[in-house]
Protein backbone atom coordinates (compact mmCIF):
# COMPACT_ATOMS: atom_id res chain seq x y z
CA UNK A 1 0.00 0.00 0.00
CA UNK A 2 2.68 2.45 1.10
CA UNK A 3 4.82 1.57 -1.86
CA UNK A 4 2.10 2.36 -4.33
CA UNK A 5 1.30 5.62 -2.60
CA UNK A 6 4.88 6.77 -2.74
CA UNK A 7 5.00 6.30 -6.48
CA UNK A 8 1.60 7.83 -7.05
CA UNK A 9 2.51 11.40 -6.28
CA UNK A 10 5.20 11.38 -8.92
CA UNK A 11 2.93 9.73 -11.39
CA UNK A 12 0.01 12.11 -11.27
CA UNK A 13 1.21 14.87 -13.60
CA UNK A 14 2.50 12.35 -16.08
CA UNK A 15 -0.77 10.43 -16.12
CA UNK A 16 -2.75 13.55 -16.77
CA UNK A 17 -0.71 14.53 -19.78
CA UNK A 18 -1.10 11.11 -21.34
CA UNK A 19 -4.82 11.04 -20.64
CA UNK A 20 -5.70 14.41 -22.07
CA UNK A 21 -5.43 13.83 -25.83
CA UNK A 22 -7.67 10.76 -25.59
CA UNK A 23 -11.06 11.59 -27.14
CA UNK A 24 -13.74 11.10 -24.51
CA UNK A 25 -16.73 10.30 -26.69
CA UNK A 26 -15.22 7.47 -28.70
CA UNK A 27 -14.77 4.45 -26.47
CA UNK A 28 -12.59 1.70 -27.73
CA UNK A 29 -14.75 -1.21 -28.76
CA UNK A 30 -13.15 -4.61 -28.57
CA UNK A 31 -13.92 -7.08 -31.33
CA UNK A 32 -16.91 -9.31 -30.77
CA UNK A 33 -14.83 -12.39 -29.92
CA UNK A 34 -12.98 -10.50 -27.23
CA UNK A 35 -16.22 -9.09 -25.89
CA UNK A 36 -17.69 -12.57 -25.68
CA UNK A 37 -14.61 -13.82 -23.90
CA UNK A 38 -15.00 -11.14 -21.22
CA UNK A 39 -18.64 -12.03 -20.62
CA UNK A 40 -19.78 -14.71 -18.27
CA UNK A 41 -21.96 -17.76 -18.54
CA UNK A 42 -24.41 -18.58 -15.76
CA UNK A 43 -22.83 -18.86 -12.29
CA UNK A 44 -22.05 -22.30 -10.89
CA UNK A 45 -22.83 -23.69 -7.46
CA UNK A 46 -19.91 -24.46 -5.14
CA UNK A 47 -20.93 -26.29 -1.98
CA UNK A 48 -17.54 -27.17 -0.59
CA UNK A 49 -17.14 -24.07 1.55
CA UNK A 50 -20.19 -24.00 3.80
CA UNK A 51 -22.44 -21.02 4.32
CA UNK A 52 -21.62 -17.43 5.17
CA UNK A 53 -25.16 -16.52 6.21
CA UNK A 54 -27.84 -18.60 7.83
CA UNK A 55 -31.30 -17.22 8.33
CA UNK A 56 -33.48 -19.18 10.70
CA UNK A 57 -37.23 -18.63 11.05
CA UNK A 58 -36.89 -14.89 10.47
CA UNK A 59 -40.00 -12.78 11.11
CA UNK A 60 -40.79 -9.13 10.57
CA UNK A 61 -44.18 -7.78 11.58
CA UNK A 62 -44.96 -4.13 11.12
CA UNK A 63 -47.65 -2.86 13.50
CA UNK A 64 -50.79 -1.32 12.00
CA UNK A 65 -52.16 1.49 14.17
CA UNK A 66 -55.75 2.67 14.27
CA UNK A 67 -56.64 6.20 13.31
CA UNK A 68 -57.78 8.80 15.83
CA UNK A 69 -56.23 10.23 18.95
CA UNK A 70 -55.17 7.04 20.73
CA UNK A 71 -53.37 5.07 18.09
CA UNK A 72 -54.00 1.54 19.25
CA UNK A 73 -52.32 -1.33 17.49
CA UNK A 74 -54.98 -3.12 15.50
CA UNK A 75 -52.96 -5.67 13.62
CA UNK A 76 -49.71 -6.58 11.95
CA UNK A 77 -48.41 -6.54 8.43
CA UNK A 78 -46.71 -9.89 8.31
CA UNK A 79 -44.13 -8.81 5.78
CA UNK A 80 -41.77 -11.69 6.46
CA UNK A 81 -43.14 -14.65 8.35
CA UNK A 82 -40.75 -17.40 9.32
CA UNK A 83 -38.29 -17.81 6.48
CA UNK A 84 -35.10 -19.88 6.61
CA UNK A 85 -32.30 -20.14 4.09
CA UNK A 86 -28.54 -20.25 3.67
CA UNK A 87 -26.16 -18.27 1.48
CA UNK A 88 -22.98 -20.19 0.60
CA UNK A 89 -19.50 -18.63 0.93
CA UNK A 90 -18.75 -16.74 -2.26
CA UNK A 91 -21.99 -18.00 -3.79
CA UNK A 92 -25.31 -16.37 -4.45
CA UNK A 93 -28.90 -16.98 -3.52
CA UNK A 94 -31.65 -15.39 -5.59
CA UNK A 95 -34.83 -14.16 -3.97
CA UNK A 96 -37.76 -13.78 -6.35
CA UNK A 97 -41.44 -13.00 -6.01
CA UNK A 98 -44.08 -10.42 -6.86
CA UNK A 99 -43.97 -6.95 -5.35
CA UNK A 100 -45.12 -6.98 -1.75
CA UNK A 101 -43.98 -10.54 -1.07
CA UNK A 102 -41.36 -9.41 1.44
CA UNK A 103 -38.18 -9.88 -0.56
CA UNK A 104 -36.90 -6.33 -0.03
CA UNK A 105 -37.85 -6.50 3.67
CA UNK A 106 -35.72 -9.63 3.93
CA UNK A 107 -32.79 -7.76 2.39
CA UNK A 108 -33.21 -4.92 4.84
CA UNK A 109 -33.42 -7.33 7.77
CA UNK A 110 -30.17 -8.97 6.81
CA UNK A 111 -28.41 -5.62 6.61
CA UNK A 112 -30.16 -4.89 9.92
CA UNK A 113 -31.81 -1.74 8.65
CA UNK A 114 -34.83 -3.23 10.46
CA UNK A 115 -34.81 -5.08 13.77
CA UNK A 116 -36.56 -8.43 13.22
CA UNK A 117 -39.61 -9.41 15.26
CA UNK A 118 -38.27 -12.92 15.67
CA UNK A 119 -35.80 -15.45 14.38
CA UNK A 120 -32.06 -15.51 13.95
CA UNK A 121 -29.66 -14.07 11.38
CA UNK A 122 -26.42 -16.00 11.74
CA UNK A 123 -23.55 -14.31 9.97
CA UNK A 124 -20.51 -16.54 10.37
CA UNK A 125 -22.20 -18.08 13.42
CA UNK A 126 -22.84 -14.75 15.14
CA UNK A 127 -26.50 -13.85 15.61
CA UNK A 128 -27.09 -10.37 14.23
CA UNK A 129 -30.81 -10.29 15.02
CA UNK A 130 -30.40 -9.25 18.65
CA UNK A 131 -27.31 -7.08 18.39
CA UNK A 132 -27.28 -3.48 19.56
CA UNK A 133 -26.14 -0.74 17.23
CA UNK A 134 -22.74 -0.64 18.91
CA UNK A 135 -22.25 -4.38 18.45
CA UNK A 136 -23.46 -4.10 14.89
CA UNK A 137 -20.96 -1.51 13.72
CA UNK A 138 -18.11 -3.97 13.07
CA UNK A 139 -20.60 -6.35 11.44
CA UNK A 140 -21.75 -3.70 9.00
CA UNK A 141 -18.34 -3.85 7.38
CA UNK A 142 -19.08 -7.41 6.39
CA UNK A 143 -22.58 -6.94 5.00
CA UNK A 144 -23.20 -4.19 2.47
CA UNK A 145 -26.06 -3.31 0.19
CA UNK A 146 -26.53 -2.30 -3.45
CA UNK A 147 -29.74 -0.38 -4.00
CA UNK A 148 -32.23 -0.47 -6.83
CA UNK A 149 -32.49 3.11 -7.98
CA UNK A 150 -29.13 4.66 -8.85
CA UNK A 151 -30.80 8.07 -9.11
CA UNK A 152 -32.01 8.29 -5.51
CA UNK A 153 -29.40 6.23 -3.68
CA UNK A 154 -26.53 8.67 -4.29
CA UNK A 155 -26.43 12.04 -2.54
CA UNK A 156 -26.52 14.63 -5.35
CA UNK A 157 -24.52 17.15 -3.31
CA UNK A 158 -21.57 14.88 -2.60
CA UNK A 159 -18.80 14.08 -5.03
CA UNK A 160 -18.29 10.51 -6.11
CA UNK A 161 -15.07 10.47 -4.13
CA UNK A 162 -16.74 11.39 -0.87
CA UNK A 163 -19.62 8.96 -1.50
CA UNK A 164 -17.30 6.02 -2.03
CA UNK A 165 -14.87 7.19 0.65
CA UNK A 166 -17.52 7.74 3.34
CA UNK A 167 -17.52 4.12 4.64
CA UNK A 168 -13.73 4.30 5.10
CA UNK A 169 -14.11 7.45 7.16
CA UNK A 170 -17.00 6.11 9.24
CA UNK A 171 -15.21 2.91 10.12
CA UNK A 172 -11.84 4.60 10.61
CA UNK A 173 -10.05 2.05 8.53
CA UNK A 174 -7.36 4.03 6.81
CA UNK A 175 -5.84 7.43 7.58
CA UNK A 176 -7.46 10.35 5.77
CA UNK A 177 -4.72 10.69 3.18
CA UNK A 178 -5.09 7.06 2.12
CA UNK A 179 -8.79 7.39 1.32
CA UNK A 180 -8.33 8.86 -2.15
CA UNK A 181 -6.04 6.10 -3.49
CA UNK A 182 -8.53 3.49 -2.29
CA UNK A 183 -11.41 5.37 -3.95
CA UNK A 184 -9.52 5.50 -7.23
CA UNK A 185 -8.70 1.84 -7.00
CA UNK A 186 -12.40 1.07 -6.52
CA UNK A 187 -13.44 3.28 -9.41
CA UNK A 188 -11.10 1.30 -11.61
CA UNK A 189 -12.49 -2.00 -10.33
CA UNK A 190 -16.02 -1.03 -11.36
CA UNK A 191 -14.88 0.21 -14.74
CA UNK A 192 -15.00 3.98 -14.24
CA UNK A 193 -12.24 6.47 -14.91
CA UNK A 194 -10.33 6.94 -11.61
CA UNK A 195 -9.80 10.59 -12.51
CA UNK A 196 -13.51 11.23 -12.12
CA UNK A 197 -13.57 11.07 -8.31
CA UNK A 198 -14.21 14.79 -8.14
CA UNK A 199 -17.40 14.71 -10.21
CA UNK A 200 -20.98 14.74 -8.95
CA UNK A 201 -23.49 11.92 -9.52
CA UNK A 202 -25.52 13.98 -12.00
CA UNK A 203 -22.58 13.91 -14.41
CA UNK A 204 -22.95 10.16 -14.81
CA UNK A 205 -25.47 8.01 -16.69
CA UNK A 206 -27.72 5.48 -14.97
CA UNK A 207 -25.40 2.54 -15.59
CA UNK A 208 -22.37 4.50 -14.39
CA UNK A 209 -24.23 5.56 -11.25
CA UNK A 210 -25.07 1.97 -10.47
CA UNK A 211 -21.34 1.25 -10.79
CA UNK A 212 -20.69 3.98 -8.22
CA UNK A 213 -23.23 2.31 -5.91
CA UNK A 214 -21.40 -0.98 -6.38
CA UNK A 215 -18.03 0.65 -5.65
CA UNK A 216 -19.45 2.11 -2.43
CA UNK A 217 -20.67 -1.32 -1.37
CA UNK A 218 -17.24 -2.81 -2.08
CA UNK A 219 -15.26 -0.18 -0.17
CA UNK A 220 -15.02 -2.17 3.05
CA UNK A 221 -14.33 -5.56 1.44
CA UNK A 222 -17.61 -7.10 2.57
CA UNK A 223 -18.20 -10.84 2.66
CA UNK A 224 -21.87 -10.52 1.77
CA UNK A 225 -23.58 -8.11 -0.58
CA UNK A 226 -27.34 -7.69 -0.52
CA UNK A 227 -28.28 -6.57 -4.03
CA UNK A 228 -31.85 -5.30 -4.06
CA UNK A 229 -32.97 -5.19 -7.72
CA UNK A 230 -29.55 -3.95 -8.86
CA UNK A 231 -30.38 -3.85 -12.57
CA UNK A 232 -34.12 -3.34 -12.88
CA UNK A 233 -33.82 0.46 -13.19
CA UNK A 234 -31.29 0.21 -16.03
CA UNK A 235 -31.64 0.05 -19.80
CA UNK A 236 -31.50 -3.41 -21.37
CA UNK A 237 -28.12 -2.90 -22.98
CA UNK A 238 -26.64 -1.67 -19.69
CA UNK A 239 -28.14 -4.46 -17.55
CA UNK A 240 -25.80 -7.03 -19.07
CA UNK A 241 -22.79 -4.80 -18.36
CA UNK A 242 -23.70 -4.53 -14.68
CA UNK A 243 -24.45 -8.25 -14.31
CA UNK A 244 -21.11 -9.13 -15.86
CA UNK A 245 -19.42 -6.65 -13.51
CA UNK A 246 -21.10 -8.27 -10.49
CA UNK A 247 -19.92 -11.69 -11.67
CA UNK A 248 -16.37 -10.33 -12.07
CA UNK A 249 -16.50 -8.91 -8.56
CA UNK A 250 -17.81 -12.13 -7.12
CA UNK A 251 -14.93 -14.07 -8.63
CA UNK A 252 -12.23 -11.56 -7.80
CA UNK A 253 -13.20 -10.60 -4.23
CA UNK A 254 -15.01 -13.79 -3.20
CA UNK A 255 -18.18 -11.99 -2.13
CA UNK A 256 -21.43 -13.82 -1.47
CA UNK A 257 -24.62 -12.29 -2.88
CA UNK A 258 -28.19 -12.24 -1.73
CA UNK A 259 -29.67 -11.22 -5.07
CA UNK A 260 -33.18 -9.82 -4.85
CA UNK A 261 -34.98 -9.35 -8.15
CA UNK A 262 -38.27 -9.88 -9.83
CA UNK A 263 -36.75 -10.69 -13.23
CA UNK A 264 -36.65 -14.48 -13.26
CA UNK A 265 -34.27 -14.68 -16.21
CA UNK A 266 -31.65 -12.43 -14.61
CA UNK A 267 -31.86 -14.38 -11.34
CA UNK A 268 -31.46 -17.64 -13.23
CA UNK A 269 -28.29 -16.38 -14.86
CA UNK A 270 -26.75 -14.95 -11.70
CA UNK A 271 -27.81 -17.37 -8.97
CA UNK A 272 -27.19 -21.11 -8.80
CA UNK A 273 -29.77 -21.26 -5.99
CA UNK A 274 -33.14 -19.54 -5.86
CA UNK A 275 -35.85 -19.02 -3.25
CA UNK A 276 -39.36 -18.11 -4.39
CA UNK A 277 -41.37 -16.01 -1.95
CA UNK A 278 -45.09 -15.42 -1.73
CA UNK A 279 -46.71 -13.19 0.89
CA UNK A 280 -43.88 -13.36 3.42
CA UNK A 281 -43.16 -17.07 3.09
CA UNK A 282 -40.73 -19.11 1.05
CA UNK A 283 -42.86 -21.42 -1.09
CA UNK A 284 -40.07 -23.14 -2.95
CA UNK A 285 -36.29 -23.12 -2.64
CA UNK A 286 -33.72 -25.11 -4.53
CA UNK A 287 -30.92 -25.14 -7.07
CA UNK A 288 -31.35 -23.73 -10.57
CA UNK A 289 -32.48 -26.96 -12.20
CA UNK A 290 -34.99 -27.80 -9.47
CA UNK A 291 -36.66 -24.41 -9.73
CA UNK A 292 -36.51 -23.65 -13.43
CA UNK A 293 -36.89 -27.09 -14.99
CA UNK A 294 -38.56 -29.07 -12.24
CA UNK A 295 -40.70 -26.66 -10.21
CA UNK A 296 -43.19 -28.46 -7.95
CA UNK A 297 -45.10 -25.52 -6.47
CA UNK A 298 -48.06 -24.16 -8.49
CA UNK A 299 -46.98 -20.58 -7.74
CA UNK A 300 -43.46 -21.09 -9.11
CA UNK A 301 -44.98 -22.76 -12.15
CA UNK A 302 -47.35 -19.86 -12.72
CA UNK A 303 -44.57 -17.33 -12.25
CA UNK A 304 -42.33 -19.09 -14.76
CA UNK A 305 -45.07 -19.52 -17.29
CA UNK A 306 -45.86 -15.79 -17.11
CA UNK A 307 -42.41 -14.73 -18.32
CA UNK A 308 -42.58 -13.68 -21.97
CA UNK A 309 -40.19 -15.77 -24.00
CA UNK A 310 -38.22 -14.55 -27.02
CA UNK A 311 -38.06 -18.07 -28.38
CA UNK A 312 -41.81 -17.78 -28.86
CA UNK A 313 -41.08 -15.65 -31.93
CA UNK A 314 -40.19 -18.71 -33.98
CA UNK A 315 -43.51 -20.35 -33.09
CA UNK A 316 -45.73 -17.27 -33.17
CA UNK A 317 -48.63 -16.29 -30.95
CA UNK A 318 -48.60 -16.50 -27.18
CA UNK A 319 -47.45 -19.31 -25.00
CA UNK A 320 -49.99 -21.39 -23.09
CA UNK A 321 -49.77 -20.12 -19.58
CA UNK A 322 -51.20 -20.67 -16.16
CA UNK A 323 -53.32 -17.62 -15.52
CA UNK A 324 -53.39 -16.44 -11.95
CA UNK A 325 -56.54 -14.56 -11.10
CA UNK A 326 -56.62 -11.36 -9.10
CA UNK A 327 -53.94 -9.75 -6.96
CA UNK A 328 -51.80 -10.79 -4.02
CA UNK A 329 -53.97 -10.77 -0.84
CA UNK A 330 -53.26 -8.29 1.94
CA UNK A 331 -50.48 -9.35 4.34
CA UNK A 332 -52.43 -7.76 7.23
CA UNK A 333 -55.01 -10.52 7.07
CA UNK A 334 -53.44 -13.34 5.06
CA UNK A 335 -55.54 -16.36 4.04
CA UNK A 336 -55.68 -19.23 6.54
CA UNK A 337 -53.63 -22.32 5.87
CA UNK A 338 -51.66 -22.00 2.66
CA UNK A 339 -51.32 -18.33 1.73
CA UNK A 340 -51.44 -19.06 -1.96
CA UNK A 341 -54.69 -21.04 -1.88
CA UNK A 342 -56.95 -18.12 -2.90
CA UNK A 343 -55.25 -17.96 -6.31
CA UNK A 344 -54.12 -21.56 -6.58
CA UNK A 345 -55.52 -23.66 -9.45
CA UNK A 346 -55.20 -26.94 -7.48
CA UNK A 347 -56.29 -25.85 -3.98
CA UNK A 348 -58.38 -28.30 -1.93
CA UNK A 349 -59.96 -28.41 1.51
CA UNK A 350 -56.78 -29.15 3.42
CA UNK A 351 -55.14 -26.01 2.02
CA UNK A 352 -57.49 -23.78 4.00
CA UNK A 353 -56.93 -25.67 7.25
CA UNK A 354 -53.21 -26.36 7.39
CA UNK A 355 -50.21 -24.43 6.31
CA UNK A 356 -48.05 -26.70 4.16
CA UNK A 357 -44.58 -27.30 5.66
CA UNK A 358 -41.47 -26.54 3.63
CA UNK A 359 -40.69 -30.13 2.80
CA UNK A 360 -37.43 -31.30 1.30
CA UNK A 361 -38.24 -33.36 -1.79
CA UNK A 362 -34.85 -33.58 -3.47
CA UNK A 363 -31.16 -33.20 -2.81
CA UNK A 364 -31.37 -29.42 -2.95
CA UNK A 365 -35.06 -28.78 -3.37
CA UNK A 366 -37.71 -27.83 -0.83
CA UNK A 367 -41.32 -27.01 -1.54
CA UNK A 368 -44.21 -25.82 0.64
CA UNK A 369 -47.29 -27.38 -0.94
CA UNK A 370 -49.75 -30.10 0.01
CA UNK A 371 -49.85 -31.32 -3.60
CA UNK A 372 -46.33 -30.89 -4.97
CA UNK A 373 -45.68 -32.14 -8.48
CA UNK A 374 -44.70 -31.11 -12.01
CA UNK A 375 -47.30 -29.18 -14.06
CA UNK A 376 -50.28 -31.45 -14.74
CA UNK A 377 -48.97 -34.17 -12.43
CA UNK A 378 -49.92 -32.89 -9.03
CA UNK A 379 -50.97 -35.76 -6.74
CA UNK A 380 -54.69 -36.19 -5.98
CA UNK A 381 -54.21 -36.67 -2.26
CA UNK A 382 -52.14 -34.37 -0.06
CA UNK A 383 -48.70 -35.90 0.45
CA UNK A 384 -48.26 -33.87 3.60
CA UNK A 385 -51.35 -35.25 5.41
CA UNK A 386 -49.60 -38.22 7.05
CA UNK A 387 -46.74 -35.96 8.12
CA UNK A 388 -49.10 -33.43 9.67
CA UNK A 389 -51.18 -36.16 11.31
CA UNK A 390 -54.41 -35.38 9.46
CA UNK A 391 -56.65 -37.07 6.91
CA UNK A 392 -56.83 -35.98 3.27
CA UNK A 393 -59.27 -33.15 4.09
CA UNK A 394 -57.18 -31.65 6.83
CA UNK A 395 -59.27 -32.87 9.77
CA UNK A 396 -57.24 -34.32 12.64
CA UNK A 397 -56.68 -38.05 12.29
CA UNK A 398 -56.72 -39.67 15.74
CA UNK A 399 -54.50 -42.54 14.59
CA UNK A 400 -51.67 -40.41 13.25
CA UNK A 401 -49.07 -38.23 14.94
CA UNK A 402 -47.30 -35.29 13.34
CA UNK A 403 -43.93 -36.29 11.96
CA UNK A 404 -40.74 -34.84 13.46
CA UNK A 405 -39.45 -34.45 9.91
CA UNK A 406 -41.32 -31.17 9.61
CA UNK A 407 -38.95 -28.44 10.62
CA UNK A 408 -38.25 -24.95 9.45
CA UNK A 409 -34.50 -24.84 9.51
CA UNK A 410 -32.05 -23.49 6.97
CA UNK A 411 -30.01 -25.78 4.77
CA UNK A 412 -30.71 -29.22 3.40
CA UNK A 413 -30.75 -32.69 4.98
CA UNK A 414 -29.16 -35.85 3.66
CA UNK A 415 -32.50 -37.60 3.75
CA UNK A 416 -35.60 -36.24 2.13
CA UNK A 417 -39.20 -37.04 1.36
CA UNK A 418 -39.47 -39.17 -1.72
CA UNK A 419 -42.54 -38.12 -3.68
CA UNK A 420 -42.96 -41.41 -5.56
CA UNK A 421 -42.62 -43.71 -2.56
CA UNK A 422 -44.25 -41.14 -0.19
CA UNK A 423 -41.69 -41.96 2.51
CA UNK A 424 -38.67 -40.30 3.97
CA UNK A 425 -35.36 -41.56 2.71
CA UNK A 426 -32.65 -41.12 0.19
CA UNK A 427 -33.58 -41.10 -3.46
Partner 1 sequence: MTQTSTPSTRLDTDDFLVVENLTVEFPTPDGPVRAVNDLSYSVGMGETLGIVGESGSGKSVSSMAVLGLHDMQRTKITGSIRVGGTEVIGLDESGMRKIRGNSAAMIFQDALAALHPFYRVGAQLAEAYVVHHPSASKRDARRRAIEMLDRVGIPQPDKRVDDFPHQFSGGMRQRAMIAMGLINDPSLLIADEPTTALDVTVQAQILDLLQDLQREFNSAVIIITHDLGVVAEMADEVLVMYAGRCVEYGACKELLTHPEMPYTWGLLSSIPDVSADTDARLIPIPGNPPSLLDPPSGCSFHPRCAHTDKVPGALCATTLPELLPGGRGASHLKRCHLANPDEIFARDVLAEIAPDLVEETP
> Could you tell me the smallest distance in angstroms from the CB atom of residue 299 to partner 1?
9
Q: Which residues bind partner 1 (CB under 8 A)?
A: 25-27, 29-33, 35-36, 39-42, 98-99, 205, 207-208, 235-241, 243-244, 262, 264-266, 268-269, 288, 292, 302-314, 316-319, 321, 323-324, 326-327
Q: Which is nearer to partner 1, 231 or 350 (CB)?
A: 231
User: Which is closer to partner 1, CB of 198 or CB of 205?
Assistant: 205
Q: Which bin fits 142, alpha (ψ -120 to 50), beta or left (φ > 0)?
A: alpha
Q: Which is nearer to partner 1, 264 or 279 (CB)?
A: 264
Integer CA distances (angstroms), 55 to 59, 138, 256, in order: 10, 19, 14
329 CB-contact burial (10 Å; exposed 0-12 / middle 13-18 / buried 19+):
middle
Amino acid sequence: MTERDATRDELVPEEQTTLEPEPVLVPEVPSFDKLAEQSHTASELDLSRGSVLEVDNLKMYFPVKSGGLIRRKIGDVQAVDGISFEVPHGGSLGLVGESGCGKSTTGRLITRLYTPTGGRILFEDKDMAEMSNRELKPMRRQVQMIFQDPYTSLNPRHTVGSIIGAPLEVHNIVPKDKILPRVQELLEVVGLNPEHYNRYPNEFSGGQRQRIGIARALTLNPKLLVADEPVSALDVSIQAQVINLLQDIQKEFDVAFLFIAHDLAVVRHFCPEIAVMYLGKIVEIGDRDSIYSNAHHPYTQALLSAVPDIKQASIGGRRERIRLQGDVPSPINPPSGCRFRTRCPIAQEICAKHEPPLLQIGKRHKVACHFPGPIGHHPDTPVTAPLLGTDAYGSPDPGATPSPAITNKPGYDDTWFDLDAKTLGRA
